[in-house]
Amino acid sequence: MAVTALARSDSAARDLRERGADVVRGDLASPSAWTHSVADAEVVFHAGGPRMAPPLRRRHVRRLEGQTRQAARAVAAAAAPHAAIVVASCGIGDARGPLGIAAPALAGEEEVPRDAARVVRLPWAYGPGGFIRDVARGLQMRRFRIVGPGANRIAIIGASDAAAAMLAAAAAPPGVYGVEEASAPTQVELVHHLCAGRGAPRPDHLPPRFASLSMGGVVVEALLADQRVPGAPPPGFAPAQEWRRDLIASLIA
């Protein structure tokens, strides 16, 4: 099977070529650079969500919603009518509904055709990049502290499992799917596990109002919530990774 991938940086392009993909250099915000590569595709995987780095506040989320809608709309238009579309989105919520950090991804979902799209909602993924890797680095530099009591559950998934879920969704009927590991760590368990695996001292706790100054209210809301990912997994998919066993090794994969 031939795979063509869009790369936004030279380093990403080199990594993708080493893995056997044909590479198109460009950005989702500039469709003219990549739409020609989508026209004959059987499946289009759209995983190019915005980078949501702290401090993240409501005004930032509103801007990211517009960017995500634009990108998803361009992908859907380029893929139609030939390809099935698989969209990976950060669909984290809690008992009250979607969290603010999920708003851009959920906005992007609205721009893909429901009769062709398979949406895979994901929590935070652990691997060689992303928020959990950033937390691990922050702990090593003594720049991250547990927000609030830390007893809330943090929904996570391994990066390899996230990719496997998208592949499973490509062969599944159109719809919205959700994946996460069955055993979610508490915020304290996750932080202490990272500290033990990376040789970092355990941090103390930071009141949410102070954490909001450096992280932004949107990130703090997510770190205080009992997170969940709505939706059932794609047929035939079950996580193969488990955070207690695989998280630390995945950060340097």
Q: Could you report the per-residue pLDDT of 79-91, keeping only the tens digit for each?
A: 988 888 999 999 9
Q: Determine the Cα angle at 152 with ends 237 and 147, to 5°.
A: 125
Q: Which residues does 197 contact at the CB level (< 8 Å), separation at least 6?
A: 136, 247, 248
Domain-located, residue 33: no
47 neighbors 75 (Cβ within 8 angstroms): no
Beta bridge partners of 147: 206
Give the global pTM: 0.93
55 neighbors 92 (Cβ within 8 angstroms): no
Domain-located, residue 22: no
Domain-located, residue 163: yes
Distance, CA of 243 to CA of 228 (rounded, Å): 16
Domain-located, residue 5: no
DSSP class of 16? H
Helices (H), 103-240: 103-109, 131-140, 159-170, 187-198, 208-215, 217-224
**What is the domain count for the chain?**
1
91 neighbors 102 (Cβ within 8 angstroms): yes
Domain-located, residue 28: no
The enclosing domain of 87 has a CATH number of 3.40.50.720
Domain-located, residue 147: yes
By CB atoms closer than 10 A (0-12, 13-18, 19+), residue 175 is middle
Domain-located, residue 51: yes
161 neighbors 88 (Cβ within 8 angstroms): no
Write out the residue range of the structural domain in which residue 144 sits. 39-250
Domain-located, residue 4: no
Stretches in the chain below the pLDDT threshold 70: 253
Q: What is the reported pLDDT for 253?
A: 59
